[in-house]
């Protein structure tokens, strides 16, 4: 486990605790990232996947940003329930570091 994973896990644990309210902070941050593509998030992804063999670049997934944003809107609606779904999903992604997530982030950031 690298330092970036530990930091992300601690942040998402806090988000899971405060996520019992009506607003999903995790989803709002995700929507911001998909729309604005801040440089800090790409650096976070690179640090999270450091020392892992990264997949070969795949041509753009058609409309990856739109699909991600709509998925996050759906999760935002689901997260209104008293169980913090998004933070748990984020924790699983940080722990397992699946290659599909790196590929999706690369598509959103046009890094292919």
Total residues found in the chain within this entry: 112
Residue 32 tokens read as 């911001």
pTM for the whole structure:
0.88
Name the residue range of residue 66's domain: 3-108
CA distance 101 to 15: 20
The structural domain count of the chain equals 1
CA distance 81 to 85: 9
- Please identify which residue in the block is written with the tokens 């801040």: 38
DSSP states of 11-51: HHHHHHHHTTSSS-HHHHHHHHHHHH--HHHHHHHHHHTTT
Whether residue 21 has pLDDT greater than 80: no
| pLDDT tens digits for range 49-95 | 999 998 876 666 678 899 999 999 999 988 877 777 898 999 999 99
């Amino acid at each position: 486990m690298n330092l970036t994973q530990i930091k992300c896990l601690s942040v998402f644990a806090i988000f899971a605790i405060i996520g019992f309210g009506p607003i999903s902070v995790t989803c709002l941050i995700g929507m911001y990232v998909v729309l604005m593509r801040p440089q800090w998030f790409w650096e976070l992804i690179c640090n999270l996947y450091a020392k892992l063999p990264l997949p070969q670049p795949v041509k753009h997934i058609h409309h990856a940003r739109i699909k991600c944003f709509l998925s996050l809107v759906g999760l935002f609606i689901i997260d209104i329930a008293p169980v913090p779904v998004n933070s748990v999903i984020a924790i699983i992604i940080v722990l397992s570091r699946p290659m599909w997530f790196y590929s999706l982030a690369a598509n959103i950031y046009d890094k292919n």
